[in-house]
C-alpha cells in the first residue's frame, strides 16, 4: 500500500516533468526556427542590398558611357564643321542643284530629318 501511494505521486511527478520537457523542447525548437528565419532574412537583405548597389553602379556606368559617347559625337561634329569652314573655297557659292542634292542626302538620315524642318517640306 505504501508502494502504491508512492507510485501515484511519482507517476504524477513524472508526467509533470515530461510535460515540462515537451513544452521546453517545443519552445527551444520554436526559438531555433526563429533564429534560422532571422538569419535567412538577414542574408536575403544583404543580398538585395548588394544587388541594389550593383544595379546603381551599372546605371551610373551606363549614364557615364552615354555622356562620353555624346561628348565624342559632339567633338567630331565640331571638328567636321571647323574643317569644312576652314577649307579652301568654303566661302564660294554652291550651285542650287548641288545644295539641293546635299540636303536630300542629309534628309535621308532620321537624326537630321527630325532636327530640320526643311526635310519635311
pLDDT at 97 (0 to 100): 92
1 has pLDDT over 60: no
pLDDT at 36 (0 to 100): 85
| pLDDT band at 4; cut points 50, 70, 90 | low
Q: How far apart are CA 52 and CA 99, in angstroms?
A: 53
Look at residues 1, 29, 6 and name the one whose alpha carbon lies nearest to residue 14: 6
Query: Angle CA(86)–CA(77)–CA(110) in degrees, nearest 5?
Result: 125
CB atoms inside a 10 Å sphere around CB 107: 15
DSSP track, 14-54? HHHHHHHHHHHHHHHHHHHHHHHHHHHHHHHHHHHHHHHHH
| pLDDT band at 98; cut points 50, 70, 90 | very high
Query: To the nearest whole percent, how much of the chain has pLDDT over 90?
Result: 3
| pLDDT band at 6; cut points 50, 70, 90 | low
- Give percent helix, percent strand, percent coil of the chain, each to the nearest 5: 90, 0, 10
The mean pLDDT value for 74-103 works out to 88
C-alpha grid cell for residue 13?
A: 511527478
Per DSSP, 93 falls in state P
Amino acid at each position: 500500500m505504501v508502494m502504491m501511494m508512492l507510485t501515484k505521486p511519482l507517476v504524477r511527478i513524472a508526467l509533470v516533468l515530461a510535460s515540462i520537457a515537451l513544452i521546453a523542447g517545443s519552445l527551444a525548437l520554436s526559438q531555433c526556427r526563429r533564429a534560422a528565419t532571422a538569419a535567412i532574412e538577414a542574408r536575403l537583405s544583404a543580398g538585395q542590398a548588394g544587388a541594389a548597389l550593383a544595379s546603381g553602379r551599372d546605371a551610373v556606368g551606363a549614364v557615364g558611357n552615354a555622356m562620353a559617347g555624346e561628348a565624342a559625337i559632339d567633338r567630331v561634329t565640331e571638328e567636321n564643321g571647323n574643317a569644312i569652314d576652314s577649307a579652301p573655297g568654303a566661302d564660294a557659292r554652291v550651285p542650287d542643284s548641288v545644295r539641293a542634292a546635299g540636303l536630300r542626302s542629309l534628309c535621308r538620315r532620321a537624326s537630321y530629318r527630325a532636327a530640320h524642318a526643311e526635310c519635311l517640306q
